Amino acid sequence: MDLMQILQGQLSDEVLGHLSDQIGADKQQTATAANGIFATLLGGLANNASSEGGLSALGSALDRDHDGSILDDVMGMVGGMMQGNGGNAGNALNGSGILGHILGDRQEVAAQQVSQSSGLDMSQVMKLMPILAPIVMGVLGRAKNQGGLDLGNLAGVLMGSAQNAQAGGFGDLIGNVLGGVLGGGQAQPSGGGGLLGNILGGIFGK
């Protein structure tokens, strides 16, 4: 199961067009930025899920707030959040809260790296991040519920998906984003884990 591929599949041409119009960018730049945001959040989730406490907290959040139903109408969800209605729809659409749990105080650092990779400015990326974050949790929740994932293999799926994103053409972008979150240190790939395998454990100072 490749979560990155599933996430990209949520961004139809119509959804990308709507996002691009709202932030004043072309669709290609918006798509590039979205891929960077998705990859960063998958990496952050994989890091969180690498500890027993973090994995348990993630499982509880998915069971409580993220059943994947928001994916039934991504266009409607995006439109509502663009109009500022996300905060009234509970934790499933609380993009800022989701970002806080996954990235903590590294949000602006991550946004800066996505900005450099995509050509969007920081303000445009910061607008995209809380809109895309619920989609990540929705995809993960639906994968858990419909894919029969339990906590024992959820972390493996997250790590595998992040590594697949690296191997699938997002290596430079992921390296720039996650390396920047780490403070700019360049991790060198080694063994089967590659760049992500080396740096995910240290994203949040662990």
Res 130: pLDDT: 94
Query: Between these two residues, 189 and 39, which has the higher pLDDT value?
Result: 39
Helices (H) and strands (E) in the chain, counts: 11, 0
**Rounded Cα gap, residues 163 and 91, in angstroms:** 28
Res 81: pLDDT: 82
Number of domains the chain is built from: 1
The Cβ of residue 190 has, within 10 Å, a number of other Cβ atoms equal to 10
What's the rounded mean pLDDT across residues 111-122?
Answer: 89
Residue 11: which domain range? 3-202
pTM for this prediction: 0.82
Query: Between these two residues, 171 and 69, which has the higher pLDDT value?
Result: 69
Buried b (16+ CB within 10 A) or exposed e, 158-174: bbbbbbbbbeeebbebb
Q: Which residue type sits at 170?
A: F
Q: What is the pLDDT of residues 49-92, one digit of tens each?
A: 878 888 888 988 888 889 889 999 999 998 888 776 554 456 78
Confidence of residue 192 (pLDDT cuts 50, 70, 90): very low
Among the ranges 95-109, 117-131, 165-179, which has the highest mean pLDDT value? 117-131
